[in-house]
A and B are shown apart, each in its own frame.
Chain A
Amino acid sequence: MITFSYSQLLGLVAPETILVLTALVVLAVDLLVMRESSLRDRFLVSGLFATVGLIIAGAWLLAINVPAPGAHEVVVGLPMLTGMYVDSALGRLVKVAVLVLTLCTIVMSLAATFTKHVGEYLALILLATVGMLFLISAEDVLMIFIALELTSLSLYILTAFNKRSLRSAEAALKYFLFGGMSAAFMLFGLSYLYGLSGSTGLHEIAARLGGPILDPLVAAAIVMVAIGFGFKIAVAPFHLWAPDTYQGAPTPSAAFIASGSKVASFFVLAKVMTLGLAHSGGSAGWGGYAPGWLPVLAVLVVLSTFLGNLAAIAQTNVKRLLAYSAIAHAGYALLGILANSPAGLTALVFYVITYGLTVLGAFAIVGLVEEATGEARLVDFAGLGRREPMLAFCMLIFLLSLAGIPPLAGFFGKFYLFAAVAAGGANLSLLWLVVFAIAMSAVSLYYYLQVLKQIYVAPSPAEPIALRVPAATRVLLALITLVILVLGCAPNLLLGYLLAAQ
């Protein structure tokens, strides 16, 4: 039996530990002290504690024992933990991004009225975040699975949190059933990898599987893992839960599912594929097909960008429209993994971070409209440009960034992804994917403009319902808009850090 010190372990996972403690504190404060206070005060106080915890964790990540760029800090003296928790400079940046997204979600929830269980709600958000942080650090399939389940289970409950709404319950059940099934697929696939290699560490798995000749069992494992992750990141054809869940879930929960959890899931998916199946990639090049995970992901990219963008055109509810556009964006993000290169990983991280921020802001605005009118139909946005010029401007920026119009962050993200994936195949053999993705993103402008048309062109309804915009949300939206504009004009502010961390 190997002995090791728990204090060392806790020190290593300090940010995660801080968040778990924060979650407990939030629970305790809300249940023990704030019981009798108004909903607003409870949210404010608990939110404040959660914010402090997030900031401390973030500061730790940025300041304490930062690993050298490129180095993968492996736990010393804890042989059985090798790969279970890996600390890297890039991983830390991704973690900070997740913390920021979590913080935004919490700010968004401050004025929420859909629940009275404030402590539980915020604690679950924090626990989901803990899962995401572990996910980002994990290079071991067992750990990946556990972290993913921690995240997912928290998110299922967060989806169901609006107990007064049937839709919320339906959304949660759908999400849970699909999620449970995807976990089964993933576990099945991972068990094959373990069976074939005798190890749970990604590096060992890659080394022992060898390649490039593909064992049929490895092929089966690849497909299973792809299906499992496909559900989690909502790529076609495993996306069926997403529109209903996004529409039914309380808006902050939906925003969190679409932003923070996506960032973590994509990062870990990239690791599983590029590290764990390093020699089993095959090729997705035009005319140069070779079996492996690259062609599998290429199929997912094509289906997602095609289906997501075309289905979004037909939507009349803006939340569902955003859900379908999220499917399309998941397709674009997969391109970063397909590039199978450090540039691809950087592009992926840049893309999902900026996408997460954008979609979070968009959800916040849609949520405000939904709260006022009961639903977020396209016509409910009519004349918003006149009634709420600031919200309308933010929405303009968010949607144009999603469409990939410069000089916004979404444009640079897409450009970098396309350049990375085009460089990923020898002799431009992956350019067909770029062509397809660009063509589909041209389609996407149509439905984003449909929303903007309602906001700026359509006349206001005769008796418009006034929106209730909490000050905190207003500040949050202004900040996100600013970040998207600034990152679009000066992508180097984020990209520089990402490149330096590689």
Chain B
Amino acid sequence: MLAWTVYISFLGVLALMLLPAGNARAARGVALVTALLGFLIGLVSAFGFAPERGIQTITRTAWIPGLGIDYYLAADGISVTLVLLTGLAAVAGILFSWNIEHRAKEFFVFYLALIAGVYGVFLSFDLFLLFVFYELAIIPKYFLIAIWGSTNREYGAMKLALYSFIGSAMVLVGLVAAYVTAGSKTMDLLVLAQYPFPPALQNWAFPVVFIGFAILAGLWPFHTWAPTGHVAAPTAASMLLAGVVMKLGAYGALRVAMTLFPLGLATWRNEIALLAVIGIVYGALVALVQKDFKFVIGYSSVSHMGFVILGLVTLNTIGMTGAVLQMFSHGVIAGLLFGVVGRMVYDRTHTRDLPELEAMRLNKALPFAAGTFAVAAFASMGLPGFSGFAAELQVLIGAWSAFPTYTVLAGVGIVVGVAYTLRVLQMAFFGEAPEPVPEAAHPLPPITLPERLGAVLLIATTVLIGLCPRLLLSLIGPSFQSPLFEHVLKGGNL
């Protein structure tokens, strides 16, 4: 049934294409129904999912028999978790873009195409298929930003598209090398992951594929697309970018790079952990000095994704489980933050300049936005009771046994994270400007129902997972017991 998340999204694209161009209401409706169906399918499947049974085939047929390529969809707990996240982010993103009137139909066509590609990546266990879905996501991202974006949109869109394409080019090199070395017979991830690739190959192919994917996860120093891309993107697109697209990168790094080349992973894990920690601290420090509201959130994403990468290369179950949980948690929280910044604040005030916002005293004008952002900020800081706490704590525990020094540095990153989050919360919403702007001059439109729904949905999720992380941990944890991760967890040795 999980496969229908992909199909339903493509059907949504088709249905939207058949709609008449001017009807924004209908376009929104179709998009929302499609996204909701996808989310519900994910939810129902997650309840019925038995993660201890490992990787469960959904569908498998020969696709290009001459080359040994199959149409092979399957899922384990990690896939299910991320499918859930995708559905959630998709629904919330549509709720937060309810005000799109300009070329609404095309907007949702690209939006759903992107979602379809993302679902596909999380469910593919044939590397060719995975790559197809992975690249499918590039072009919609470009148009979403270039047409509906704001500041520097064409630059940001092109930068993101080229970064993604260069990343996937690196991945393709590694995939071709692996496919050919294993005899050009199969692209099945499970088979290739068991193939003993020679150490020399692994030592160059691992960093190439890992970094190829990690570009999209915002790994320092390849993160520079992220702030510009997030800032340029329309609200829903930045929610998706931070919410799920960055997770595509991290997922690919985990699912493909690490499992195919475990020896290479063992060789390079220290360097990668170092990059991740630099990303955590650097992203947080840069966020501390930004004047643009959205740049703060953009850099905070770089910082939080650093935890994901750090967790992945701990190579122990606690750290890696934490990393996947952090993917989910950051997807929800970042979506919420971008929703507040882009939709609730920017669309009303038409500024993201923090000093200007400070003068507006938004906590009076937009109390709901202020409340939402405060909750999101606490979640983002990693306060207990929110999902971020459970995730980052797990990552740090896992990292402690592997890289004690880096763990301390990452702890510093958390402290700086508290600082920039409080700073931006204070400046944007609880400003104490000497002469407040007269309110009657620019009455801000009130927060609409779709926005409230979207915010409540995301807040509820992060609180639910924060209070009861077992819900997801019981899905993610057993997945690492499957044979796919056997070599990874043993540091490349068997």
A492 and B162 contacting across the interface, CB-CB below 8 Å: no
Shortest CB distance A445–B (Å): 5
Asked if A496 lies at the interface with its beta carbon under 8 angstroms from chain B, I say yes
A418 and B136 contacting across the interface, CB-CB below 8 Å: no
B177 and A495 contacting across the interface, CB-CB below 8 Å: no
Question: How far, in angstroms, from A48 to B278 measured CA to CA in the complex?
Answer: 69
Question: How far, in angstroms, from A457 to B139 measured CA to CA in the complex?
Answer: 13
Asked if B131 lies at the interface with its beta carbon under 8 angstroms from chain A, I say yes
Q: Which of B284-305 contact A (CB under 8 A)?
A: none
B179 and A419 contacting across the interface, CB-CB below 8 Å: yes
List the A side residues contacting B21 at CB < 8 Å: 389
Known: A428-B177, A453-B154, A457-B154. A411 touches B135 (CB 8 A): yes
List the A side residues contacting B147 at CB < 8 Å: 456-457
A416 and B132 contacting across the interface, CB-CB below 8 Å: no
| Pick from B66, B161, B173: contact of A496, CB under 8 Å | B66
Question: How far, in angstroms, from A428 to B181 measured CA to CA in the complex?
Answer: 7
B64 and A422 contacting across the interface, CB-CB below 8 Å: no
Asked if B180 lies at the interface with its beta carbon under 8 angstroms from chain A, I say yes
Question: How far, in angstroms, from A495 to B172 measured CA to CA in the complex?
Answer: 21
Q: Which of A463-502 contact B (CB under 8 A)?
A: 490-492, 495-496, 499
Shortest CB distance A86–B (Å): 24
Question: How far, in angstroms, from A121 to B55 measured CA to CA in the complex?
Answer: 62
Question: How far, in angstroms, from A393 to B201 measured CA to CA in the complex?
Answer: 41
List the A side residues contacting B143 at CB < 8 Å: 456-457
Q: Which of B54-74 contact A (CB under 8 A)?
A: 63-67
| Pick from A411, A456, A457: contact of B132, CB under 8 Å | A411
List the A side residues contacting B172 at CB < 8 Å: 415, 418, 438
Asked if A434 lies at the interface with its beta carbon under 8 angstroms from chain B, I say yes
Asked if B378 lies at the interface with its beta carbon under 8 angstroms from chain A, I say no
A449 and B142 contacting across the interface, CB-CB below 8 Å: yes
Question: How far, in angstroms, from A492 to B69 measured CA to CA in the complex?
Answer: 10
| Pick from B131, B154, B201: contact of A406, CB under 8 Å | B131
Interface string of A310-339 (1 = CB under 8 A from B): 000000000000000000000000000000
Question: How far, in angstroms, from A241 to B382 measured CA to CA in the complex?
Answer: 63
Asked if A441 lies at the interface with its beta carbon under 8 angstroms from chain B, I say yes
A495 and B66 contacting across the interface, CB-CB below 8 Å: yes
| Pick from B67, B138, B169: contact of A416, CB under 8 Å | B67
List the B side residues contacting A415 at CB < 8 Å: 128, 172, 176
A492 and B201 contacting across the interface, CB-CB below 8 Å: no
Asked if B433 lies at the interface with its beta carbon under 8 angstroms from chain A, I say no
A406 and B64 contacting across the interface, CB-CB below 8 Å: no
List the A side residues contacting B49 at CB < 8 Å: none
Residue from A457, A490, A499 whose CB has the most chain B CB atoms within 10 Å: A457
Question: How far, in angstroms, from A378 to B146 measured CA to CA in the complex?
Answer: 17
A438 and B169 contacting across the interface, CB-CB below 8 Å: yes
Asked if B400 lies at the interface with its beta carbon under 8 angstroms from chain A, I say no
A492 and B179 contacting across the interface, CB-CB below 8 Å: no
List the A side residues contacting B138 at CB < 8 Å: 405
Q: Which of B165-209 contact A (CB under 8 A)?
A: 165-166, 169, 172-173, 176-177, 179-181, 184, 201
Asked if A133 lies at the interface with its beta carbon under 8 angstroms from chain B, I say no
Known: A406-B132, A442-B165, A445-B162. A435 touches B173 (CB 8 A): yes
Asked if A56 lies at the interface with its beta carbon under 8 angstroms from chain B, I say no
Shortest CB distance B102–A (Å): 12
List the A side residues contacting B135 at CB < 8 Å: 405-406, 411
Shortest CB distance A435–B (Å): 5
Asked if A222 lies at the interface with its beta carbon under 8 angstroms from chain B, I say no
Q: Which of A377-431 contact B (CB under 8 A)?
A: 389, 400, 405-407, 411-412, 415-416, 418-419, 422-423, 428, 431
B169 and A439 contacting across the interface, CB-CB below 8 Å: yes
A434 and B176 contacting across the interface, CB-CB below 8 Å: yes
B146 and A428 contacting across the interface, CB-CB below 8 Å: no
Asked if B158 lies at the interface with its beta carbon under 8 angstroms from chain A, I say yes
Shortest CB distance A442–B (Å): 4
Q: Which of B118-169 contact A (CB under 8 A)?
A: 128, 131-132, 135-136, 138-139, 142-143, 146-147, 154, 158, 161-162, 165-166, 169
Prevailing SS type, chain B contact patch: helix
**Which chain A residue shows the least CB distance to B171?**
A438
B177 and A449 contacting across the interface, CB-CB below 8 Å: no
Known: A405-B135, A406-B132, A415-B128. A442 touches B154 (CB 8 A): no
Shortest CB distance A390–B (Å): 11
B176 and A406 contacting across the interface, CB-CB below 8 Å: no
B132 and A442 contacting across the interface, CB-CB below 8 Å: no
Residue from A389, A431, A439, A496 whose CB has the most chain B CB atoms within 10 Å: A431
Asked if A446 lies at the interface with its beta carbon under 8 angstroms from chain B, I say yes
Known: A406-B132, A406-B136, A428-B201. A419 touches B67 (CB 8 A): yes
List the A side residues contacting B180 at CB < 8 Å: 419, 422-423, 428
**Which chain A residue shows the least CB distance to B21?**
A389
List the B side residues contacting A416 at CB < 8 Å: 67
Question: How far, in angstroms, from A389 to B103 measured CA to CA in the complex?
Answer: 13
Residue from A412, A442, A456, A495 whose CB has the most chain B CB atoms within 10 Å: A442
**Which chain A residue shows the least CB distance to B103?**
A386
List the B side residues contacting A499 at CB < 8 Å: 66
Question: How far, in angstroms, from A389 to B142 measured CA to CA in the complex?
Answer: 18
Known: A423-B184, A442-B165. A492 touches B66 (CB 8 A): yes
List the A side residues contacting B146 at CB < 8 Å: 453, 456-457
List the A side residues contacting B181 at CB < 8 Å: 428
B184 and A442 contacting across the interface, CB-CB below 8 Å: no
**Which chain B residue shows the least CB distance to A500?**
B66
List the B side residues contacting A412 at CB < 8 Å: 64
**Which chain A residue shows the least CB distance to B62?**
A492
List the A side residues contacting B142 at CB < 8 Å: 449
Shortest CB distance A331–B (Å): 16
| Pick from B65, B131, B184: contact of A492, CB under 8 Å | B65
B169 and A441 contacting across the interface, CB-CB below 8 Å: yes
| Pick from A343, A438, A495: contact of B64, CB under 8 Å | A495
**Which chain A residue shows the least CB distance to B128?**
A415
Question: How far, in angstroms, from A411 to B67 measured CA to CA in the complex?
Answer: 15
Question: How far, in angstroms, from A212 to B173 measured CA to CA in the complex?
Answer: 31
List the A side residues contacting B161 at CB < 8 Å: 445, 449
List the A side residues contacting B154 at CB < 8 Å: 453, 457
List the A side residues contacting B158 at CB < 8 Å: 446, 449
B177 and A422 contacting across the interface, CB-CB below 8 Å: yes
List the A side residues contacting B201 at CB < 8 Å: 428
B64 and A407 contacting across the interface, CB-CB below 8 Å: no
A445 and B177 contacting across the interface, CB-CB below 8 Å: no
List the B side residues contacting A449 at CB < 8 Å: 142, 158, 161
Shortest CB distance B234–A (Å): 13
List the A side residues contacting B162 at CB < 8 Å: 442, 445-446
Question: How far, in angstroms, from A343 to B172 measured CA to CA in the complex?
Answer: 19
**Which chain A residue shows the least CB distance to B166?**
A442
List the A side residues contacting B106 at CB < 8 Å: 456
B184 and A419 contacting across the interface, CB-CB below 8 Å: yes
Question: How far, in angstroms, from A78 to B244 measured CA to CA in the complex?
Answer: 67
Question: How far, in angstroms, from A226 to B354 measured CA to CA in the complex?
Answer: 63
List the B side residues contacting A456 at CB < 8 Å: 106, 143, 146-147
A419 and B176 contacting across the interface, CB-CB below 8 Å: yes
Known: A423-B184, A445-B162. A407 touches B67 (CB 8 A): no
Known: A456-B147, A457-B154. A407 touches B173 (CB 8 A): no
Shortest CB distance A473–B (Å): 22
- 17 pairs, CB–CB < 8 Å, chain A vs chain B: A405-B135, A405-B136, A406-B136, A407-B132, A415-B128, A418-B176, A422-B177, A422-B180, A423-B184, A428-B201, A431-B176, A434-B176, A439-B169, A446-B162, A449-B142, A453-B154, A496-B66
| 7 tightest A-B CB contacts, nearest first | A406-B132, A442-B169, A422-B180, A499-B66, A423-B180, A438-B169, A457-B146
Given contacts A456-B106, A491-B64, 4 further A-B contacts (CB under 8 A): A406-B131, A428-B177, A428-B201, A457-B143
